[in-house]
Structure 1
Amino acid sequence: MNIRFDGKRALVTGAGKGIGRDLAKKLVECGAETYALSRTQSDLDSLQIECPGIHAVQCDLSDCTALKASVQSCGDIDLLVNNAAVALLEPFLEVKEEFFDKTFDINVKAPLMVSQIVARGMVDRKNGGSIVNISSQASTIGIENHTSYCMSKAALDQLTRNMSLELGPHNIRVNAVNPTVVNTEMGKVGWSDPAKANPMKKMIPLGRFAEVEDVVSVILFLLSDQAGMVTGSCLPIDGGCLGSLTIS
């Protein structure tokens, strides 16, 4: 499948590392004028060396004022991927208000606010658009020490459904992808210990965690016109994990 985004303008949050970084580079390859937003300037600097055609936008998404100014500075956006996220791991009985608030600020509030700005432009231009939210299988199952993270991703799934409902009449499609553990820097923070990782892998029929390209390819499809009748979905990219959870 040859996916092209010539003439389109894309914005990817959390584009400094992992899924967002590889996705931003792939969008440029596919012809999109691409804006890569990250909190860390050094990540953006190295990304621009790897991909000179990309537009770098430095912003801390927990700062609402900076968020609005940075997203508005990107101009008209046709394709949006809300990828930025944090995973602050704590046992349930030790969840701190500070960590809870930060998790929801980045994982839920920021996608809401970024999407509002971008979607208003899409509505005004009457050309439609596509938005993909990067969720997680953690939105559906309980994972030890992931209380705030799981809650935030469940909220992001519901945000996706509500956005698709209200933006659909404007020909704006909104979907989420829900990967299992992905072999990124953030994924390795919680899953580098084989004693923890191996039981999770045993729950996955394909027997492995996802690679970044496994997720990027699905995002590109959902952004493209090839998925023209797909909206409101929360698509597992989990090697069959959720579909195979049974009691025996």
Structure 2
Amino acid sequence: MEITFAGKRALVTGAGKGIGRATALALARCGAEVMAVTRTQADLDSLLLECPSVRPVCVDLGDWGATEEALREAGRHVDLLVNNAACAMLQPFLEVTPDQFKKIYTFKETVYRGTGGSIVNISSQASQCALRDHTVYCATKGALDMLTKVMALELGPYQIRVNSVNPTVVMTEMGKLGWSDPNKASTMTSRIPLGRFAEVEDVVNSILFLLSDKSSMTNGVTLPVDGGFLAC
């Protein structure tokens, strides 16, 4: 199944590393004009070396004013949005601080320009299954899933589809933060019928499908990319 985004303009947040970076590169290979948003200039510099056609936008999405200004300068409307920017701060419920909730919730806001198109929010299996020491992470991913559904309801009349992908652990730098220890990792992989964590490409392929016209009647779904974890 061939997917093309020729003539489309895409915006990917958190595009400096991991899933966001791989998604930006995949969209460019599929013909999209890609704006890559991250707060780390060094990541943008290396991304441009790998794919010079990408348009870099260096901004901290936690700064609303700076974000508005940066995206205003980016120009005309966006057809495709991948809401990927996130951070991981792991802690037990009794050790959660208000600042941790505030910081992570900040990354769940959507920026969109234009009419018609597709939005994909990057969620997690943790939105639907409690994980020890992931209090804030689980709570915010659960909120993101419901935000996805409300956005699908309210933006559907404008022909804007909104879906989320909900991966199991992906061994990006963020994934390694919580799951690099083999003993801890085995407690998760033993519960995944396929017996392994996800590769970045597994998630990117699902994102591309949901962004594309191949999923033109798919709206408001939370798509597990988890090897069967949530099914069991």
Q: Which band: TM-score by shorter chain? A: over 0.9
Partner of 2:222: 234
- Distance in 1 (CA, whole Å) between partners of 2:74 and 2:152 is 23
Any idea what SS the aligned residue of 1:34 has? Answer: strand
- The alpha-carbon deviation at position 98 of structure 1 amounts to 1.3
In 1, Cα distance between the equivalents of 2:149 and 2:74? 25
**Distance between the aligned counterparts of 2:149 and 2:70, measured in 1?**
26
Instruction: Name the structure with the higher helix share.
Output: 1
Distance in 2 (alpha carbons) for counterparts of 1:172 and 1:183: 31
- How does the TM-score come out when normalised to structure 1? 0.92
Structure 2 counterpart of 1:212 = 200
Provide, for residues 3-28 of structure 1, a one-character-per-residue CA deviation record: whole Å limited to 9, x for no partner. Answer: 00000000000000000001101101
Q: For residues 140 and 167 of structure 2, what CA distance do their matches in structure 1 show?
A: 15
Q: Which runs of 5+ in 2 are unaligned?
A: none
Shift of 1:100: 1.5
- 1:95-106 aligned within 5 A: 95-106=96-107
Instruction: Output the CA distance in 1 between the equivalents of 2:195 and 2:100.
Output: 32
Match of 1:125 in 2: none
TM-score w.r.t. structure 2 length? 0.98
Superposed CA RMSD in Å reads: 0.8
Instruction: Output the CA distance in 2 between the equivalents of 1:138 and 1:2.
Output: 31
Query: Once the two structures are superposed, what CA deviation does each residue of 1:134-169 show, in whole Å capped at 9, x if it has no partner?
Result: 000010011111100111000000010000001111
- Could you say which residue in structure 1 is the equivalent of 2:82? 81
Q: Percent identity?
A: 61
* Match 2:127 to one of 127, 135, 139: 139
Superposition pairs of residues 72-221 of structure 1, within 5 angstroms = 72-75=72-75, 76-106=77-107, 108=108, 110-111=109-110, 114-115=111-112, 118=113, 121-122=114-115, 128-221=116-209
Flag as ranges the 4+ runs of structure 1 deviating above 2 A.
71-75
Would you say how many aligned residue pairs link Structure 1 and Structure 2? 231
Are 1:10 and 2:10 counterparts?
A: yes
Q: Who is 1:26 aligned against?
A: 26
The AA in structure 2 aligned to 1:63 is D
Q: Identify the range of structure 1 (70-79 vs 148-157) with the bigger mean alpha-carbon deviation.
A: 70-79
Q: Deviations over 1:73-105 (max 9, x none)?
A: 222100000000011011111111111211111
